Structure 1
Amino acid sequence: MRSKKANHRIKYLVHINKVVYLAILEPLVNKTKIEGYRKFLGFQYCLANTNGKIWCFWNHLDQADVIANEEQHITINFKDRNGANSRYVSAIYAKCTDGDRRDLWDSMENISSSINDPWCVGGDFNDIMDPDEKFGGKPHRANRCFDFISTMEACGLSDLGFVGPKYTWCNNRRPSKRIWKRLDRVFVNDLWAQSYHTNTIKHLARTGSDHRPLLMQTLSNQNDFIRYFRFLNLWTQQSSFLETVQNSWNMNVTGNAMWRLQCKLKALSKNLSKWSRETIGDIHEQVNKWETRVQLLEELDTLNNNEQSREDLNREHAEYVNGLECRMLY
Structure 2
Amino acid sequence: MSFVHAKCSVQERRVLWYTLLNDKPISLPWCIGGDFNVILAPHEKRGGRPFAIAEGMEFMSFMEEARVFDVGFSGASFTWSNNRRGRARVSKRLDRFLVNGACLDLSNAISVLHLARHPSDHAPLKISFKERSDHTPRPFRFLNVWTTKSELLEVIRYAWNQDVSGSPLRVLSSKLLATRRAIQTSNKQHFGNVFDAVRSAEMGVQRAEEAMDQYASEECQVELSKAQAELRHALSIEEQFWSQKARVKWLKHGDRNSRYFHAVVRQRRA
Structure with a larger share of its residues in strand: 1
TM-score range, shorter chain: 0.3 to 0.5
Structure with a larger share of its residues in helix: 2
From the CA coordinates, give the structure whose radius of gyration is larger.
Answer: 2
Q: TM-score, normalised by structure 1?
A: 0.39
